[in-house]
Chain A
């Protein structure tokens, strides 16, 4: 381990010292972009891992597709070459009055600019038995290590919470031949985000993988055996399900408990304005842990997505090195994979499509592919698309959204946006036939 004082000796004392807490995608994107444009001394502190890795790839480590080292976006030598210090330490206290950080081993570290990008932690909602052995969430590298330990002898598992991490965890456990019961509180899988038809398509696919998907099922209590280890759960409907592992995947919330007692203002997350500034001068927050005081229309106060983390990092780095720039994200996009079905979305597709919006839905007869396009009933302007099992070009959809293309234009030119590999069967004609049959207003 590098001693902190040795680390600082390597740098010119006259340089500004930027300290970033967290080596996830937000913090690292910010560090790299600060380096590109400045000579600041940059230190990234993380207690999680020595090097930046792709959090979204955790599942592939567990499934044996990748090793931990394969999930590092940059080779280890990259950091030294780019003069970005990495410090594998846990911060216990932030003292903004003296601009110092207190590390768990008693060392004290000073900064000129502090960027907090400490990410999230899994939610726990006070269920009985939530702290038993073999009950856990999945977010960090440590969670993954714990998962290895906790699922060693598991034959049956219960996953609570139907979101993206839940379905990933189901796929992970399935790859180790662990029987999975998947409890989803809502009427349909991820129906806060997806319209029902898409949700149903995914539900069918989840069941095809022999996951016991239980909709409208809520966790009541996690039951313990004599060793304080989970042995079963009960649902609100009174059902008891035997299991040796429980995965809690009911969302994440900002990981900011280390700021308790500091002067930095927090709510659910660290409160920031559109410049990522906190209430304390020279202290910024980006990524999962930041909460915007003024919410941009159509976005959330806390953005917990890979791509938004990157944008936060890029934007703040620009502010600190070039010119003060406010966060101004463009059209929404995201993607995921539900077992074998890929999902991409561009623009806005609400889960419930109501006036002034209307949508058109096409599904392939086999039920593993579908698209939904949303448009404005009055103006006919294209609003957004969900694509399942068909890849789309981000660049093209972004351009159409920026240019405010009408739905008829988008449908006519759908082939231009296709990003499927060569020789794949194309469905634009079929989709358009159905579209013309159903959407007559245009």
Chain B
């Protein structure tokens, strides 16, 4: 029954077709060129970076074609629990270790990746990205430019794969196009280009949608100052950043749920939904894990509010301590290390193949927690269940990346109103009996009052 195939789409593919072979070769060559740059092999990055990235992207596109387009459109989950990569087998663990190690280097040891310090030139893999960085923002690459480029490549290429996989489902297709556009333009190209155009001004975050508290340094003194000194563009970012989390977010969340952010425009969510799609079934659906999740995610939100309050208090009073404790040492630094780097980065993505693709979003993201409060108590969004049609098969729960045991609700005809739901819509897509629908309608009938099974006139059992 176990199959150690590493095919991403379909197990037991006895023979790869020509298209698949070519695409695997392209991806391998692209990765090889990329990996070679780790070892400081001297070649001209101006040629080899585009060769590497485009062969990876082209390879993934061709591979997706060979996997999905030769079959009728429909749910493509065959073998998900048999494959080593997607069922926590050897390949999954190796990938988890590789990703985690990469994040450890990225956050804490960027010099190992070739980041030049004290004015030295970049070497290694970071220097590989210098030419592209110069084109976009006029500077040599930093580790975050390199990371942003890889990140965006993953979302674009694997987003394309996702679109083919769910091509029969317009909600998924449209949502994923928005995910790709948000990442490519709002999070990557526009900020980099603006950075280049404003190279005389100090750095501040220019991703229009990356708001506090997800962007935890937004209210740092240096960041506020850089925005204030950043001319009208900087001031606009400062005002927008505050309006976005304080006014815009609650309003949109009221109308459509937190999905507008989490599974449509967010960068973390974007990676989860595209590159992480193969791992959604790995999230635990146990009630005990749900209990843990509620404690930890709200603890992170509280931590971020306390930390930010301390920093803002210091900023306005021109002090550096709060209640006699140094704010940086006791709040800001631990938050950045524990939450910003270790949780959201290392664990958040590194553990995709082990704990599922939404580890950070589910257990750690303070913005998700903040929007979750609105979604739970004041929103028009819910997942409606369809009368008596549920057969308790478990496909919905299995595919919930946030670990919601969807079928527990569906099988008793109860609408799903959960703080954590990111509205990806995959539960609805995989349901074989048409039971689930993501909806925004009247608040009044949000918790429906239908009988558990419609159609039994003997008795009407209510929840």
Binding site for B on A (CB under 8 A): 25, 33, 54, 56-57, 60, 63-67, 70-73, 75, 148, 175-177, 205, 208-209, 306-307, 310-311, 314-315, 318, 325-333, 335-337, 339-340, 342, 344, 391-395, 398, 419-425
From A177, A336, A344, A423, B171 is in contact (CB under 8 Å) with: A423
- A70 to B398, alpha carbons, bound, how many Å? 7
A176 to chain B, nearest CB (A): 6
- A319 to B287, alpha carbons, bound, how many Å? 32
Assuming A56-B393, A66-B394, A394-B386, is B168 touching A340 (CB within 8 A)? yes
A433 to chain B, nearest CB (A): 22
Binding site for A on B (CB under 8 A): 1, 11-14, 72-75, 77-83, 168-171, 174, 286-287, 384, 386-389, 391-395, 397-398, 407-408, 411, 425, 428-430, 432-434, 437-439, 450, 452-459, 461
Q: List 19 A-B contacts (CB under 8 A).
A: A54-B391, A57-B395, A64-B79, A65-B398, A70-B398, A73-B394, A175-B78, A177-B14, A209-B72, A311-B453, A325-B459, A333-B454, A340-B73, A344-B433, A393-B386, A395-B454, A419-B437, A421-B437, A424-B171
Q: In the assembled complex, which residues on chain B have CB atoms less than 8 Å from the CB atom of A208?
A: 72
B95 to chain A, nearest CB (A): 19
Kindly list 20 other residue pairs between chains A and B, CB separation below 8 angstroms, not including A66-B81, A333-B387.
A33-B461, A66-B393, A70-B394, A71-B392, A73-B392, A73-B408, A307-B388, A310-B453, A325-B459, A330-B454, A331-B455, A333-B388, A333-B455, A391-B437, A398-B387, A419-B434, A419-B437, A421-B171, A421-B425, A424-B169
B282 to chain A, nearest CB (A): 11
B408 to chain A, nearest CB (A): 8
- Establish whether residues B170 and A424, one from each chain, have CB atoms under 8 Å apart when the complex forms: yes
- Establish whether residues A73 and B458, one from each chain, have CB atoms under 8 Å apart when the complex forms: no
- A209 to B72, alpha carbons, bound, how many Å? 7
- A175 to B11, alpha carbons, bound, how many Å? 9
Closest to A332 in B: B455
Q: In the assembled complex, which residues on chain B have CB atoms less than 8 Å from the CB atom of A394?
A: 386-389, 454-455
Assuming A148-B1, A394-B386, is B456 touching A65 (CB within 8 A)? no
Q: In the assembled complex, which residues on chain A have CB atoms less than 8 Å from the CB atom of B408?
A: 73
Assuming A66-B81, A75-B286, A327-B458, is B393 touching A60 (CB within 8 A)? yes
- Establish whether residues B391 and A326, one from each chain, have CB atoms under 8 Å apart when the complex forms: no
- Establish whether residues B434 and A71, one from each chain, have CB atoms under 8 Å apart when the complex forms: no
- A75 to B393, alpha carbons, bound, how many Å? 14
Q: In the assembled complex, which residues on chain A have CB atoms less than 8 Å from the CB atom of B386?
A: 391, 393-395, 419
- Establish whether residues B434 and A391, one from each chain, have CB atoms under 8 Å apart when the complex forms: yes
Closest to B452 in A: A314
Assuming A333-B389, A393-B386, A424-B171, is B72 touching A63 (CB within 8 A)? no
From A65, A306, A315, A398, B455 is in contact (CB under 8 Å) with: A398
From A57, A177, A329, A424, B456 is in contact (CB under 8 Å) with: A329
- Establish whether residues A57 and B393, one from each chain, have CB atoms under 8 Å apart when the complex forms: yes
Assuming A64-B11, A328-B458, A329-B458, is B391 touching A57 (CB within 8 A)? yes
From A67, A311, A318, A339, B81 is in contact (CB under 8 Å) with: A67
- A315 to B452, alpha carbons, bound, how many Å? 12
- Establish whether residues B391 and A306, one from each chain, have CB atoms under 8 Å apart when the complex forms: yes
- Establish whether residues B456 and A311, one from each chain, have CB atoms under 8 Å apart when the complex forms: yes
- A425 to B83, alpha carbons, bound, how many Å? 35
- Establish whether residues A421 and B170, one from each chain, have CB atoms under 8 Å apart when the complex forms: yes
Q: In the assembled complex, which residues on chain A have CB atoms less than 8 Å from the CB atom of B430?
A: 65
